[in-house]
Amino acid sequence: MKYFILNQVQQHSNQMPNAEGTDKFMVVIAVISVLFIGITGYLISLDIKLRKQEQN
């Protein structure tokens, strides 16, 4: 019985696609990175504009 269950688990794990094996994982990382860089750039530019306004 133990070997039957282990065999079934191995068969199901082999059939499931691996997220790292596909390019989807890298696409998700790239999208998150672009969003983070964009938000950071926007906040920096907003900070620069606010500093200029405070000096005037």
Number of domains making up the chain: 1
Task: Answer for the pair 19, 25: CB distance below 8 angstroms, yes or no.
Answer: yes
Q: Is 8 inside any structural domain?
A: no
Could you report the per-residue pLDDT of 20-44, keeping only the tens digit for each?
A: 567 888 899 999 999 999 999 999 9
Q: Is 34 inside any structural domain?
A: yes
Q: Is 13 inside any structural domain?
A: no
Q: Which domain holds residue 27?
A: 19-56
d(CA 35, CA 41): 10
1 pLDDT more than 80: no
Between the CA of residue 44 and those of 51, 54, 56, what are the distances in Å? Answer: 11, 15, 19
The pLDDT value given to residue 47: 97
Q: Is 2 inside any structural domain?
A: no
Other C-beta atoms within 10 Å of 21: how many?
A: 8
Q: Is 26 inside any structural domain?
A: yes
